Structure 1
C-alpha cells in the first residue's frame, strides 16, 4: 500500500496525506526541498503534525499521479531528520498573537491570563525541553523572558514580545521560502522539442520523453538531446561545449554523438543510446535540494555567535538580580538578547540577495557561493563561449593575383559560401553583406563535408576550403604565402584558402568574435578586487597568447584538457589564491567543481550548470562582475547588521540593567531593533 494518498485535488493544487507509519516529525524541511526540486512544483507547505503536504504545481509539466509516484519512489529511510526543526509561522500565527495582545490589553485580568497562558505555552514548553537537554539556544531565553512576564502578570509585555517574535520569524521564513521557490524553478534543466521516428511515424516530442532506441532526426542548428550514434547521414558537429574548440568536426555513420553538442551543418538520423534516466533526474533533484538546504560558514558562525550571546544575556540577568533582587529589572534584561537579530538577519540577507540576483539574471546557489565569491582574488576564464561568442569575423583578405582586389575576392568567396552553414562560411557571408558587396553568379555548388566547397565561375573551377584540402586533393600550392600564413597562425586566426582554375588566388583570415562587454567586465572585476585574471583554453599557444595580450590578462594556459584545467585551478589554490572559474562546456565541469566558485555561462551545457555554484541566466559576461558585486554587498550588509545589533542591543541592555526601562519598553525596543535589522535584510531584494 502507498504511503502517500491524495486527499484533495484541483488543477494545479493537490493535498497529500502521509501514512502514520512514516512520521513527518523533523523531516519537513527535507521533504519541502525535495519537492521543490521536482520540475513543475511551484510551492510546498508541509504540516508535520497533521501528516499532510499541500503542493501547487504546473499542470502542463506535472500531474498529481506523477507527484504521488515520485514520492512513493523516494528513499524515506534516508530522510534528513532535524530534531529541533523550527515551527513554520503563518499569517494565522501573527493574527492569533495580535488578538492575544488585544485580549491582554482590554479583557479582565483572569481572561487575559488564560489567553496569554494558552498562546505562550508552546514556546515555554519548547524552552523547557531545551533546558532539559542542556541546550542554551535563543528559544530558552525567549521562553524565560516571556514566561517571566506572564508569571508576573504583565500579560501585555508577554504578548507584545510573542507577537514581535512571531512577526520576525514569519518575515525570515517567508523570504526564505519565496527565494527557495524561485531558485528551484531556475535550477531545473531545460528541455527542447525534437523530431523522432518511432514505430515508423515521425512526431515531435520533448527531449525528456526520448527512449533508448528512438531515431532522432537532426539538421543544421539542432542541439543533440541525448547520447547516441549516427545511423545515417553526415554532419559537421559543433563540439565547443565538449572540447572548447570553436570549429565543428565531421561525423559519419557509426560515430558517437554527445548530448549538449550541436549540428552545425548536414542532416543525420541518430539512434538514442543513453537518455536522462530517473537516476539522472534524481541526481539533479539532489543537487537542487542540497543547494536549498546549504548553510554558509557565515551563517553557521552567526548562529554560534547568537547562542553565545544567550549565555551572556543570562549571565548579565543573573548578576542584575543578585545585586538588586528586582524581578522587573531581571525581566527587562531577559527581554533583550543579541541572538534574534544575528540568527535571523544573516539567512534573510543571503536569501534576499539570491532573489535579487535571480531577478537580474544571476542564479546564486546558496549563501556559500556568495560568501566565497566575495573573497575571490583570481578569475580563470575559458575562451570559447565565455570570452568569445564562438562566432567568427573576417580580419584579413589576401589576394595572390593582380587581377583581383580584396573586395573582389571576398565577394567571390561569399557568393559560394552562402550555400554552407559552416561558421567560417557564415562569417565570410556576413562580412560581404556588411560591406554591401555584389553577388557573383556561379554554377552548382558541391559541398564536401569537413573539407570545403567547389563551384564554377565564368567556366573556371573555384575551390574554397582548408589548406590541406586544396593542396592534397586539388594540387594547389600556397607556398609563396608561407610567411604570411605563419604570421596569421601566430595571431591565432583561422583561414580559408581559395583557388580558381587550379591556381591559388587568395586567403581569407578570421578570428573569434570577442564579446562586446568583455573589456568592461574585466575592468569591473579589477575594480572589485579580482586582480589576477587568467585565460585557460584548449586552443594553441599562439592563439592563447594573442588573446591574452589583446585583453591585458595576467597569464594564460594553452592546449588544456578537461583534467588539466582542474589541475591548474588546484595549483592556483595551492599558491593561496581564491579562484573563480568561468566556463560553459562539458569539458569545464571538472574545473567548475574544483574552483572555490564555479560560474557557468547562460549558453552552457546542463552539466556545466549542474556543476557550477553560479549560473548566468542572460548571455552577458558582465553578469560575472555583477555577481561579484552582489556578493560583496551581501557580506557588507551582514557585517553592518551584526554591528548594528551589537551596538543598539548593548545600549538597551545597559538601560534595562540600570532600571531605566520597563519590561514592556525593553521588549518593544529590542524586538523593534530585530525587525529593523530584518527589514534591512529583506529590503536588499529590491535595491
Structure 2
C-alpha cells in the first residue's frame, strides 16, 4: 500500500449536523473524488456532501438523530482508498461562487479596462484552465468551447461579455448540482438500512446491542415478533418462522435446531437462539451500501446519448465559427458564434429532468434508482406480478365455514368455538379466525386449558370433549381422524384455492374453515390502469397451486399465469418474454424475488419487501399499496417526454441564435445572453418537473 493511502484524515471543525474534514487523499487521487463522494453519501445518516479536492476539503452534512461526528469520522476512516475508481469530477459550485461572479461583472462594467481585465482573468481562469486541460487530452468537448468563447471575448477586450458568460455558466452548473445534491441525498437517506436492537448472548450474559454491531458467531436471542437481523442457524429452541418475505408463503413454518434462517424473516411463535453466520461485508446492510454507491454513479442511456450529442455539437459550433471568420474576417462575429453552443442545455437538462422526476417520485412514495430505471419504465410493455405480498396483502380472510355435524356444531357455533380457542395463539391464521368471529359478533365459548403444538395446531377440552384444531396432517396423523367421508367437500374448496383449517371433536371431523389470501383492494384497478397506459399484457407468477393461480387471474383480469413457480422458473419466464422482444417490469417483494428483479428490464420492490429485494430492484414502493406501480409508469413517460422536448427546443432555438450570430445580427453580449438564457430556460423547465401535482 502506498504511503499516500495511509495519510490521516483529520477533523477541521465540527458542529451538530455538519463535519468538515481534511482529506489528503483528494490531492493524491483527484480522479477518485466522485467515488469518495458516493462513499460518503452511502454512510448512515449522511444527507449532503461537498468536496473541494484542490483544498483537500470535505464537508459532510448529517442527521444528528442517526449518527454523530465521532461515529461518522470512524466510518470515513474505514473507507479503503485502494479500491477507489477513477471518474470525471466536476468542480462543485455554491451560492458564493455566483455572488463572486456578480461582483466580477460589476467590476468589468465600472473599472478601467486594465483592472477589469485582471479581475475577469482571475474569475475565468478555472474555465480557461479546464478547456486547455481537455484540449491537451485531445478531446473536443464543451469545456474547450467554453474556454474559446471566453478567450475570444477577453482578446477583444470585451470583459463584460466574458463575465456575463462566466456568470451564466456557473449559475447553470450550480442549479444542476444543487438539484443533484438534493436528489442524491434523498436517494441515499431513503435507502439507508434500518437498524434495530437485538439481544445476544456474550460471555454468558444477555445484552442488547444495535443490529449493525453484530459479529459472526454472536448468539441472537429471538422471540415472538422479532425480525431476524442476520443469516444463521438455530442453536436451540423451536420457533414458528414467518418466511413470507423469502418464500412468498404466508403460512409460517416450524424451525428447530440446525435449521437455517434468513435475515429479514420473522419469529412468529416460540423462543430460539440463532448463531449469526453472515454479518459484516456479507450482510444485507453492506450490500445496500454498495448498491447506493452504484446507483448514484449510474448514467442512463439518454444521458450518455445527450452527452455525445453535446460533444458533437461542439465540433459543429467550431466549424460554423471557422467558416464565418474565413468569409468575413470579423472577430466580433466569431465571438458571437462561439458564444452559442448546444451542449450546455443538452448536457445539463437531461440529468436535471431525471433527478426532478426522481425527487417527485420519492415525495409520492416511490423510489426510482437513477435515469436508467426511468428510461426502462417508459419502454416496458409487459408487467409481471408476484402474488403474496404484492397482489395480496400477505394475510388471509375467512371465506367458508363448513360443518359436518350441523345438529351439534352448526357453522356459526363452529366459528365461535374455533375463535375462542384460537385467540390463545399468535399464529396469523388464528388471528384471521378470531377477526372473522368478531366481525360477525359471535359470542365467546368457554373451554378448558389450551395446549399449543408449534407448527401443528391446538387442542383443548370443551364441555367434557377433546377438541383438535389444525392442519389435515395434524388431525390425521396424531389423532387418526378419517377424512374420507368428506373428501368431495374438501376437494371443492381446495379447487377454489382455499387454505383449510380442520376441526375435530373426540377424534371425529366435525368441520372446516376455508381461508383465502386477502387480495389488495386496488389490484384490479391498477391492472386496468396499466392496460390503459399502454401495457400489452399482465402476467402472474406464484408458488401456489394451479387452482389458486387460476382463480386469482380470473378475479383480477390477468392475461396469463404460471403456478407453482420457483425462483429459477420465475427468472426463466421473464427471460423467455425478453427473448420474444418484450420489455418486462417485474413487481415482487421477497428474497426469492431478487434474481427475477435483476433479470427484468425493470424490477420494482414492494414497501414491505426484504432489504435484498429492495437492493436488487430498480424502483421501490415506499407505501404499502400498488398505486406506485402506475405512478412509476406515468412519471417515466412524463420524464422521457420532457427530455425529448428539451432536446428539440435546444436544437431549434440555438440553431436560430447561431444563424443570427453568423449573419452578424447579434453582438457577442446578446448572443451570450440569448444562448445562456435558453440554457437556463430549459434547466428551469426541467426543474419545474419537481413541483408538478
Q: Same fold (TM over 0.5)?
A: yes
Structure 2 gap segments, 5+ residues each: 1-5
CA distance in 1, matches of 2:585, 2:552: 19
1:474 paired residue among 460, 471, 479:
479
CA distance in 2, matches of 1:88, 1:27: 15
Please, which moves more after superposition, 519-528 or 1-10?
1-10
Structure 1 residue 469, shift from structure 2 partner: 1.7
Taking the TM superposition and a 5 Å limit, the aligned residue runs for 1:93-132 are: 93-132=97-136
Please, which moves more after superposition, 58-67 or 2-11?
58-67
Q: Which residue of 1 aligns with 2:81?
A: 76
Structure 1 residue 678, shift from structure 2 partner: 0.3
Q: Over the residues paired in the alignment, what is the CA RMSD in angstroms? A: 1.9
1:10 paired residue among 15, 35, 41:
15
**Given the superposition, is the C-alpha separation of residues 389 and 282 from structure 1 closer, same or farther in structure 2, using an over 3 Å criterion?**
closer
**Given the superposition, is the C-alpha separation of residues 457 and 451 from structure 1 closer, same or farther in structure 2, using an over 3 Å criterion?**
same
Taking the TM superposition and a 5 Å limit, the aligned residue runs for 1:332-411 are: 332-403=336-407, 404-411=409-416
Taking the TM superposition and a 5 Å limit, the aligned residue runs for 1:565-576 are: 565-576=570-581
Please, which moves more after superposition, 293-302 or 573-582?
573-582
Taking the TM superposition and a 5 Å limit, the aligned residue runs for 1:473-622 are: 473-622=478-627
Whether 1:329 and 2:338 are equivalent positions in the alignment is no
Structure 1 residue 109, shift from structure 2 partner: 2.2
Q: Which residue of 2 aligns with 1:415?
A: 420
1:641 paired residue among 618, 643, 646:
646
CA distance in 1, matches of 2:232, 2:125: 63
Aligned to 1:254, what secondary structure does the other structure show? coil
Q: Which residue of 1 aligns with 2:302?
A: 298
Structure 1 residue 11, shift from structure 2 partner: 3.7
Aligned residues: 686
**Given the superposition, is the C-alpha separation of residues 206 and 391 from structure 1 closer, same or farther in structure 2, using an over 3 Å criterion?**
same
Q: Does structure 1 conserve the Cα–Cα contact (< 8 Å) formed by 2:26 and 2:54?
A: no
**Given the superposition, is the C-alpha separation of residues 294 and 629 from structure 1 closer, same or farther in structure 2, using an over 3 Å criterion?**
same
CA distance in 2, matches of 1:211, 1:18: 30
Structure 1 residue 616, shift from structure 2 partner: 1.2
Taking the TM superposition and a 5 Å limit, the aligned residue runs for 1:188-207 are: 188-207=192-211
1:148 paired residue among 152, 160, 164:
152
CA distance in 2, matches of 1:266, 1:54: 48
1:659 paired residue among 626, 641, 664:
664
Structure 1 gap segments, 5+ residues each: none
Q: Which runs of 4+ in 1 moved over 6 A?
A: none
CA distance in 2, matches of 1:343, 1:21: 26
Structure 1 residue 455, shift from structure 2 partner: 1.4
CA distance in 2, matches of 1:669, 1:526: 44
Q: Which residue of 1 aligns with 2:241?
A: 237
Q: Does structure 1 conserve the Cα–Cα contact (< 8 Å) formed by 2:284 and 2:611?
A: no
Structure 1 residue 585, shift from structure 2 partner: 0.9
CA distance in 1, matches of 2:622, 2:229: 20
2:438 paired residue among 424, 430, 433:
433
Please, which moves more after superposition, 142-151 or 29-38?
142-151
Aligned to 2:629, what secondary structure does the other structure show? helix
Q: Does structure 1 conserve the Cα–Cα contact (< 8 Å) formed by 2:7 and 2:25?
A: no
CA distance in 1, matches of 2:119, 2:323: 32
Structure 1 residue 617, shift from structure 2 partner: 1.4
CA distance in 2, matches of 1:218, 1:79: 39
**Given the superposition, is the C-alpha separation of residues 212 and 307 from structure 1 closer, same or farther in structure 2, using an over 3 Å criterion?**
closer
**Given the superposition, is the C-alpha separation of residues 24 and 63 from structure 1 closer, same or farther in structure 2, using an over 3 Å criterion?**
farther
**Given the superposition, is the C-alpha separation of residues 128 and 552 from structure 1 closer, same or farther in structure 2, using an over 3 Å criterion?**
same
Q: Does structure 2 conserve the Cα–Cα contact (< 8 Å) formed by 1:361 and 1:618?
A: yes
Structure 1 residue 168, shift from structure 2 partner: 0.5
Q: Which residue of 1 aligns with 2:254?
A: 250
Aligned to 2:674, what secondary structure does the other structure show? helix
CA distance in 2, matches of 1:500, 1:278: 50
CA distance in 2, matches of 1:324, 1:371: 45
- Deviation track 1:220-252 (CA, whole Å, cap 9, x = no partner) reads 222112222333332211111222212111122
Aligned to 1:49, what secondary structure does the other structure show? helix
Please, which moves more after superposition, 166-175 or 519-528?
519-528
Aligned to 2:460, what secondary structure does the other structure show? strand
Whether 1:459 and 2:431 are equivalent positions in the alignment is no
- Deviation track 1:55-85 (CA, whole Å, cap 9, x = no partner) reads 2234454454544444444332332223x53
Q: Which residue of 1 aligns with 2:187?
A: 183
Whether 1:284 and 2:288 are equivalent positions in the alignment is yes
Structure 1 residue 366, shift from structure 2 partner: 0.8
Please, which moves more after superposition, 315-324 or 170-179?
315-324
State TM-score, norm by structure 2: 0.95
Q: Which residue of 2 aligns with 1:49?
A: 54
